[in-house]
Amino acid sequence: MGSDYKGNKPNRLGVKYAVNGIVYAFRSEMNMKVHFVVLFIVLFCGYALGVSATEWMLLTLTIGAVLICELFNTAMEHLLDYLAPEIHPTVGKIKDLTAGAVLVAAFTSIIIGLIIFLPKFLLIL
């Protein structure tokens, strides 16, 4: 494999396949739907409360981290179900670990969201 290796698909279609993966995860995973609902709530609140550019950057990074973790979790679950369709304790541990990564990212994003939004909400009250 040289530096010109493009895999088994034309390079120009990479974005299409990536979008297909996101759409698949959204359609098949309830947690991904929940993440997107929260994403839109955060976007609305950020716009309505006038968050700063720095706060937008932090919100964007945390939202991205949660979605990335959820995509990797979904991919790992499908890979393990394909490779080991029978129940296996090691497979269960791996799935628990990837789900744990999503949970850590989600809790981190909640903490960052509270740090950014709570003072703004308290000023309104």
CATH number for the domain harbouring residue 50: 1.10.287.3610
Number of Cβ within 10 Å of residue 67's Cβ equals 19
Q: Quick: pLDDT tens for 11-45.
A: 667 889 999 999 999 999 999 999 999 999 999 99
Within a domain: 4 = no
Work out how many domains the chain is built from and give that number. 1
Question: How confident is the model at residue 6, as a pLDDT?
Answer: 56
When pLDDT is averaged across residues 86-110 and rounded to a whole number, the result is 96
* 70 appears as a binding residue in the annotation: yes
Say if 61 falls within a structural domain: yes
Domain range for 75 is 11-124
Distance, CA of 88 to CA of 83 (rounded, Å): 11
Name all contacts of 116-124 with Cβ < 8 Å and 24+ positions apart.
116/51, 116/55, 116/58, 116/59, 117/45, 117/49, 120/49, 120/50, 120/51, 121/49
**Predicted confidence (pLDDT) per residue in 52-81, tens digit:** 999 999 999 999 999 999 999 999 999 999
Q: What is the pLDDT of residue 7?
A: 57
Q: Is 120 annotated as a binding residue?
A: no
Other Cβ atoms closer than 10 A to 43: 14
94 is in an annotated binding site: no
- Residue 10 is predicted with a pLDDT of 60
| 29 has binding-site annotation | yes
Report the alpha-carbon distance of residue 50 to residue 48 in Å, rounded.
6
Q: Model's pTM, two decimal places?
A: 0.85
Report if residue 6 sits inside a domain: no
5 annotated to bind ligand = no
Q: What are the residue numbers of the active site? A: 70
Residues sharing a CB contact under 8 Å with residue 71, sequence separation 6 or more, in sequence order: 21, 22, 25
77 burial via Cβ count (<10 Å: 0-12, 13-18, 19+): middle
